[in-house]
Structure 1
Amino acid sequence: MTVWVEGATGKAGRRVVAALTAAGVPVRAASRHPGEARGSVTPVRFDWYDETTWAPALGAADALFVKGLDSDDNAAALVARFLDAAPAGRVVLMSAAGVDRGPDHAPRRAVELAVQNSGKRWTVLRPNWFLQNFDEDEWVFAKALRETGELYAGSGLVGFADTRDLADAAVAVLTSPGHDGRGYTITGPEALTFEEAARVLAAASGRPIRWREVTRAEHREYFARSGRPAAWVDHMLHLFELVKAGVFASVTDDVRRLTGKAPRTLAAYAEQKWRPTSRR
């Protein structure tokens, strides 16, 4: 079996590639800027908005790991066309926690429905907020944490998930039977507020980090400085509204059920990524 992985250089995708490779599964690693081939990984150029890249990128892959587009109203139509063109009979979609409880017309929910109606064998993974947003996504949290020691966020509980647990879960559903037509919510073992998360990061790093509750207007102004499209800014603001509404507060045992291992904690992540080498 060969698995095609979308977003192969991103936070989640590159961990999925690494986990599949560790399991001995050949990978077609799809991204807009592919690197050099290595071992059983074949980098391929792929762009949702350039359909001439689709067939060459897919090759003869047997299964697909698809992320789709977060903030494009046409995402579902693109995903439907892509899946119709793909010869692979198996697809695993990385969606997001709570999407299945949202309206069918919402972009991510519409993508889920496109996958479920594609005629392919499907599984949906719905991860909660990624721990790696704290150090890898510049304009979500990483930039402000690094430059000011502030965690810009609203209030509410989040069952933060580790991208490595998402990757291990993806390998499990791609390489073992019994997951067709099912959805799993990938979370950590506990739900924490952003204020609690700031304290954990501060304890590991040994430097002051404080939670700063910002208004929607302040958040919009901050995100707008990123230079990213307005649709991305609106998407992020919507996510923080969902945090406030409690959408991301749930914790599941799906990681343990799928992988046989307990999900990684925020504290363990912080020790690995935030504690200075001199203090380890």
Structure 2
Amino acid sequence: MKFNRIQRNDEMILVIGGTGNIGSEVVRLLDEKGVDFKLLARDKSKAAESVGAEVEIIEGDLDAPETVAAAMEGVEKLFLVTPLHLDQVSMKSTAIQAAKRAGVKHIVMSTGIGADPDAGVEIGRWHGKNQEEVKETGIPYTFLQPGFFMQNMLMFADPIRGNGEFYLPLGDSKVSFVDARDIAAVGVAALTEDGHENQAYPITGGEALSCDEVASILSDVVGKTVRYVDVPLEAAKQGMIAAGLPEKLADLMNELYALGPDGHLAYVMDTVEKVTGQPPRSFRQFAQDYAAAFKE
């Protein structure tokens, strides 16, 4: 498939979820391209600290539909991403329905790899439900379907700095970790170029790595030995709950981790390069870019 890489800079884009791993990079790239956009954020001052005071920020909340409707005024394209959340289906639904009422012409939405109403894991079914809702609106769409983020490793920055260890229930499974910056690049291409309408893009990194291989790369970059500690799913669940994740979401994460031994997390797709013209970042590149987070 070939894409028309002529930039569309005159259509107002609303970014929802613009302060997270993917969304903040979407904001940066849109700003770099000189595209007209605005950001919906729950706390305007905190968002400004994250994305910069020069970005137009509309204060609103997906739990307050009237604020989302107001933010949609004059918007032609929507970028939508939400964090893992117990209410993420209804949160996305609020934005989708507001976009429909506002006459938005294109929705670019981040879901997850394997998203489908009949997916074998519950989070996949949640994402699939929102995808079907978008399709039912008749609005052209692009679904970004990423796998595990490299940035998730930042959750282990403290134990890596402290005792040189990180903990996951993946055994020797391989995972095609993807950099959130590459997910954002695919999303921005979909927002600013023709040819991405009504497409679902599974997004992975360019290689599948075991956690021992991840530990080896981190050791090289950080300059000290980093060890991967394999833990049982139940121990991983208790660790996530102790870190503040609701039990239901910890169970959903464990459903994903449990896919690893059968190779379901190791698929490598060429979506990033096909869409952006650039190869995806390697885990080594990610580790080098974020090295300060892992060093004492």
TM-score (norm 1): 0.88
1:119-268 aligned within 5 A = 119-135=138-154, 138=155, 141-153=156-168, 154-155=170-171, 156-268=173-285
1:38 aligns with 2:83: no
Match of 2:137, SS state, is coil
Q: Is the 8 A contact 1:206 1:275 kept in 2?
A: no
The question of whether the paired residues in 2 share the 8 Å contact of 1:201 and 1:209 is answered with yes
- Cα distance in 1 for partners of 2:13, 2:29 equals 12
Task: Indicate which of 89, 92, 95 corresponds to 2:105.
Answer: 89
Task: From the superposition, tell whether residues 48 and 69 of structure 1 become closer, same or farther in structure 2 (CA, over 3 Å).
Answer: farther
In 2, Cα distance between the equivalents of 1:116 and 1:70?
A: 22
1:52 paired residue among 47, 66, 76: 66
Unaligned runs of 5+ in 1: none
Aligned residue type for 1:56 = A
Distance in 1 between residues matched to 2:110 and 2:68, nearest whole Å: 19
What is the letter of the counterpart of residue 105 of structure 2? Answer: G
TM-superposed deviation, 1:270 = 1.3
Unpaired segments ≥5 residues, structure 2: 1-10
The CA deviation at 1:52 is: 3.0
Flag the 1:235–1:198 CA change in 2: closer, same or farther, 3 A: same
Structure 1 residues 127 and 198: CA distance shift in structure 2, 3 A:
same
Deviation at 1:75, TM superposition (A): 4.0
Provide the residue aligned with 1:274 in structure 2.
291
TM-score when normalising by structure 2:
0.84
Q: Which residue in 2 is equivalent to 1:19?
A: 29
**CA shift at 1:60, angstroms?**
1.9
Tell me the CA shift for residue 84 of structure 1: 2.3
Separation of aligned partners in 2, 1:97 and 1:80 = 19
Question: Is the 1:104–1:110 Cα contact (8 Å) retained in structure 2?
Answer: no
Superposed CA offset, 1:67-117 (max 9, x none): 246343x64455344322222121011111222471597212211221222
Alpha carbons of structure 1 residues 45 and 147: separation in structure 2 relative to 1, 3 Å:
farther
Q: How many residue pairs are counted as aligned between the two chains?
A: 272
Residue of structure 2 aligned with 1:62, choices 73, 76, 89: 76
Distance 1:277 1:132, change over 3 A: closer
1:63, distance to aligned residue in structure 2 (A)? 0.6
Distance in 2 (CA, whole Å) between partners of 1:276 and 1:3 is 32
Amino acid at match of 1:148: N
State whether residues 76 and 114 of structure 1, in contact with CA within 8 Å, keep that contact through their aligned partners in structure 2: no
**CA distance in 2 between partners of 1:222 and 1:277 (Å):** 20
2:290 and 2:97 map into 1 onto residues whose CA distance is 41
Distance in structure 1 (CA, Å) of the matches to 2:44 and 2:174:
37
Seen in structure 2, the aligned counterparts of structure 1 residues 195 and 142 have a Cα distance that, compared at 3 Å, is same
Q: Deviations 1:134-153 (Å, cap 9, x if unpaired)?
A: 12xx3xx3343333322211
